[in-house]
Amino acid sequence: MTNEIITVSETRKNLLKIIKELEQVETRYIITRGGKPSAVLMSFDEYFRLIATLDILCEQDLVKGISDGLKDLEAGRVFSFEDVFGEPF
């Protein structure tokens, strides 16, 4: 994942090219105005993944369940596929 820093003027001139690149390559564009960061352009897929991650992190019960599951995994408190479903994987 790369971050490209571009000005508002550069964005305006190259918007179609930037959108095509966002659809093909994992890149974010940080748009500056007056030398200061003002906005970020990213692909829709990346935006969707970001929102989904934030939604998960906002659900404390889910985060706790994931954390507890990882602790169980590290401690070896797991069941095999065959134990759970009665047949080999």
For the segment 8-38, what is each residue's pLDDT rounded down to a tens digit? Answer: 999 999 999 999 999 999 899 999 999 999 9
What superfamily would CATH give domain 1-42?
YefM-like domain (3.40.1620.10)
Q: Predicted confidence band at 60 (pLDDT cuts at 50, 70, 90)?
A: confident
**Count of CA atoms in the C-beta half-sphere (13 A) of 17:** 5
- 5 DSSP 8-state letter: E
Q: Where are the domains of the chain?
A: 1-42, 43-76
Q: Predicted confidence band at 89 (pLDDT cuts at 50, 70, 90)?
A: confident
Helices (H), the chain: 8-24, 44-58, 60-75, 81-85
Residue 48 pLDDT greater than 90, yes or no? yes
